[in-house]
Amino acid sequence: MDGEPHARADSVEAAEKGSTLAQLLAPRHVLLGLEAADRETLFTQFGQFFEQDYGLPAADVTAGLAAREALGSTGLGQGVAVPHGQIRTLRQAMAFYVRPAKPVPFDAPDGKPVSDVVVLLVPEWANSTHLRLLADVAQRFCDHRFRELLHGCLDQRAVCQLFASYEEADGA
């Protein structure tokens, strides 16, 4: 996970047109039953996971997520949050699905805690990828049936299969 702060123009163009949410979501990117009492603890634990599995300093991940959250809550409502951040040293976008053991307060517009968290980490240069992934998350989680099916997924593979089948059904 050794990142390049400045990517070449052709690499940027290829990456910007690249991965979808379903393609980025691998079983090891699905964290079910994560213990977190609040948003800050969730970010800290996610940073530790990222450092352990990907070698990027936990502080960079936590700071990236916290910096975006300081601009306003990434809680969307209906139990969904999409914390996201730009990480200078990343070479490609990454997506993670987190289902906390208990819903986590997130200052969502409806005041409800979140039980579905999609964490997006993108390189600083990947602005259109960032926006496309955010739109993809919003589209999926606006679909009540998708959320119900997701809550029925009992393991990482089932979560990934649901994300992939949703994409296929959408014609992506």
- The average pLDDT across 134-148 equals 88
Position 16 pLDDT exceeds 70? no
Q: How confident is the model at residue 133 (pLDDT cuts 50, 70, 90)?
A: confident
Look up 84 and say whether it is catalytic: yes
Q: How far apart are CA 114 and CA 147, in angstroms?
A: 12
Domains along the chain? 22-167 (3.40.930.10)
Q: Are 84 and 131 in contact (CB under 8 A)?
A: no
* Given 29, 84, 144, 151, the catalytic residue: 84
For residue range 148-157, list pLDDT tens digits in order. Answer: 999 999 999 9
Which tens digit of pLDDT belongs to each residue from 72-119? Answer: 888 888 899 999 888 787 788 889 999 999 999 998 999 999 999 999
41's tokens: 């603890």
Model confidence at 162: pLDDT above 50: yes
